[in-house]
Amino acid sequence: MTLLNWKTWCSCALSGVMLATVSTMVLPVREAAAQVRALPDFTDLVEQVGPSVVNIRTLEKVVNTPVQGGGLDPNMLEFFRRFGLPIPNVPGGQNQMPPGHGSRQEDAQPRGVGSGFILTADGMIMTNAHVVEGADEVLVTLTDKREFKAKIIGADKRSDVAVVKIEASGLPAVKVGDVSRLKVGEWVMAIGSPFGLDNTVTAGIVSAKQRDTGDYLPFIQTDVAINPGNSGGPLINMRGEVVGINSQIYSRSGGSMGISFSIPMDEAVRVSEQLRATGRVTRGRIGVQIDQVSKEVAESIGLGKPHGALVRGVEKGAPADKAGVEAGDIIVKFDGKPVEKSSDLPRMVGSTKPGTKSTLTVFRRGSYKDLSVVIAEIETEKPIAQAAEKPGKAKEATAAQALGLIVSDLTDADKKELGIKGGVQVDAVDAAAARSGLREGDVILAVANVSVVNVKELETVLVKLDKAKAINVLFRRGEWAQYTVIRSGR
């Protein structure tokens, strides 16, 4: 190879190495740039929705009493009330009424703070019910620093939704989003007044939907930072639409721990429409006590996968009673919509207008049945009367003893008092029956999906069963019915 060719070859080789090195460096840079471009930018959303978010302060009138909370920051007062904590006193005389106040003079003292958002241009504002609960005066401050006294149109404790009204016009109303389009993992933003810091913006993702926390509504769970004072503020998607009302947090310290809950906007709008129309919310009821269906029970009664709502009791004279619903039924559909878990049923019934004729699909003794029910209006729950045991009944030993059961027939008076057509009373339990959870005083209504009216029928059913297999038993305890499974082979 000549000197010239050698130099040319080295030059080309070096150029190739440099190009390869540059290309390998450019690729990560491009990927990094793409990732940066993919990160959400909330600036436009803040400019769009920020003016629609308001600060809410509540006052209460105090007559010749120490100032509640002893001059404590109103933001912290809201926190103590929200979580049911005792409000501490501040030493040094700060709890006393300000000088110059007469013994009978009323004084408006800070009660708490929260957030809200403008629902309509004419001054309808949505917030949490707990933000305005017990307030004698509600003050709403807009982002342009204008302050208004607000009138409480209505508040619903069950859903924690409230609507207040200020006298103003041309206000920037929010856009309401479609909650059904919201996806887990989607970016969302919150604007509110945590600790009184107006128009604070926080962001995160949707952690879960339909989160059941024991409340009346299924919540949207997010990791957006929510603190005292954020209550009632909007949860906003990337299209600038409000999809929820920030309502609760999970916290051991009082601060944000990355678990917050928002009321879905579709549910909140339904509630607000009733509050605006009548000042109150009406909900449907059918008069049943329900429980979850366990996997063990579902398999033993032939239901398959665990779903639906197990009817443990039926209120006498209630719509469900008139429709023919029985204790032990499993309600699997309401108006054709599947009931996946027990908490779905009260939400479905509750959102149905009283007086509506609906259809319940129940699973009973191995088969499905449709029942027609007329929805009534929800009312205050009545105390449950426990069934009294009747003394002096003759105990009859039967073949049920093989399962650890001693049972006896119910008297006509027992059946009338319990509101049932038949069944046998458990007088004593032992062995497998005791392990299943049955107790003295329980009333067995059915065994292996077969109703039993008396001890003779119970014996007839038990004789035909394979005792080595699990036996499902529907029984009643007091006013409520439930399932258990007896395993004699254990």
Catalytic residues: 130, 160, 231
Q: Please tell me whether residue 142 adopts helix, strand or coil conformation.
A: coil
Q: Which of 205, 222, 231, 220 is nearest to 264 (CA)?
A: 220
**The three-state (H, E, C) secondary structure of 339-395, written as one string:** CCCCCHHHHHHHCCCCCCEEEEEEEECCEEEEEEEECEECCCCCCCCCCCCCCCCCC
For 428, the 3-state DSSP assignment is strand
- Residue type at position 288: V
Closest by alpha carbon to 258, among 237, 231, 227?
A: 227
Whole-angstrom distance, CA of residue 220 vs CA of residue 245 = 9
Helix spans in 250-342 (H): 265-278, 295-300, 319-323
Instruction: Report how far residue 72's alpha carbon sits from residue 127's, in angstroms, rounded to the nearest whole number.
Output: 23
Q: Is 456 helix (H, G, I), strand (E, B) or coil?
A: helix
Strands (E), 91-178: 106-118, 124-127, 137-141, 147-156, 161-165, 175-176
Is beta strand 260-264 parallel, antiparallel or unpaired with respect to 219-222? antiparallel
Q: Which residue has the tokens 């119910």?
A: 410
Q: How far apart (Å, rounded) are the C-alpha atoms in residues 394 and 348?
A: 46
Q: Are 65 and 226 in contact (CB under 8 A)?
A: no
φ, ψ of residue 86 to 5 degrees: the values are: -65, 135
Q: Read off the tokens for 440.
A: 């003295």
Q: Which two tokens stand for residue 406?
A: 């001693």
- Are 182 and 243 contacting, i.e. CB atoms less than 8 angstroms apart? yes
Long-range interactions of 198-204: CB distance < 8 A, separation 24+? 198/55, 198/141, 198/143, 199/50, 199/53, 199/143, 200/230, 201/42, 201/46, 201/50, 202/226, 202/230, 203/40, 203/42, 204/258
Count of C-beta atoms within a 10 Å radius of residue 259: 17
